[in-house]
Amino acid sequence: MIELNDEILNRYIDGELDQATLNKVRELLKNSEAGRFKLSMLQKVHSELGKLDSFEVSNNFTHVIMSQLQKKVKVVSKDRFFVFSISSVFLIIILFIISYLFIVSINNAGTSTQNLEEINNYVNVIANVSSSIKELMTPKNISIIGSILSFGIIITGYLFFENQRQARRNLSKLP
């Protein structure tokens, strides 16, 4: 049994009813003044909503956003330049050290026995350091070192997060 309620009338307005239901609704509407009244009111609401007012932004809206974007792009490119220059400096220093070591090794190429002794000395030093580290690595010490490291990581993370937030705040303050 179909009832002429708001739901069915709304679907009638939107053309969502199948043919059989549509015929029944039409039949019911013929005999129901209350149904016709309800339908007319819903149709009026539907047509009035079609005349809905639009709101308009201020005149310089587009200009404001575009200038904000341009400033942001400038900041990003400045940051990129900074990172690039710092990385370049580090790269140059590393290249300089490698080439220095290379030149030194070429100059000392004749004294191979001396080199072997030096290498042995270095290996001994490394072995001593690793054995002393091994002695230090008791469960108690590991937990202490772990706690210190965790604390350090948390503090670093917090500072990094704060720094990011401050940077974002500064960006959003840009006119």
Partner 1 sequence: MKNLTDIEIIDSVKKGNQSDYALLIDKYKNKAFSLLVRMLKNEMESEEVLQDCFLKAFNSLDNFRQESKFSTWFYRIVYNTALTRLSAKKRKIETEMSSIDDHFELRSDFDFREAEQKDASKFIQKLIELLPPKYASVINMYYLDNMSCEEISNVMETSVANIKVILHRSRSALKDQLIKNNYAEELL
Tokens representing residue 37 in the block: 């009244």
Query: Please, which residue, 33 or 135, has the CB nearer to partner 1?
Result: 33
Q: How many angstroms separate the Cα of 94 from the Cα of each of 90, 98, 105?
A: 6, 6, 16
CB of 14 or CB of 135, closer to partner 1: 14
- Cβ pair 2, 8 in contact under 8 A: yes
Question: 121-157 as b/e, with b when 16 or more CB fall inside 10 Å?
Answer: eeeeeeeeeeeeeeeeeeeeeeeeeeeeeeeeeeeee
Question: CB of residue 4 vs partner 1: minimum separation in angstroms?
Answer: 13
- Cβ closest to partner 1, residue 48 vs residue 135: 48
C-beta of 30 vs 140, nearer to partner 1:
30
Least spacing, CB of residue 75 vs partner 1, in Å: 13
- Choice between 149 and 171, CB closer to partner 1: 171
d(CA 153, CA 155): 6
**DSSP classification of residue 107:** H
- Taking CA atoms, 100 is separated from 105, 112, 128, in Å, by 9, 19, 28
Note the residues at the interface with partner 1 (CB under 8 A): 6-7, 10-11, 14, 16, 37-38, 40-42, 44-46, 48-58, 61-62, 64-66, 68-70, 72-73
Q: Considering the complex, what minimum distance in angstroms separates the CB of residue 37 from partner 1?
A: 8
Least Cβ distance, residue 63 to partner 1 (angstroms):
8
- For residues 137 and 91, give the distance between their C-alpha atoms in angstroms, rounded to a whole number: 35
What's the closest the beta carbon of residue 7 comes to partner 1, in angstroms?
6
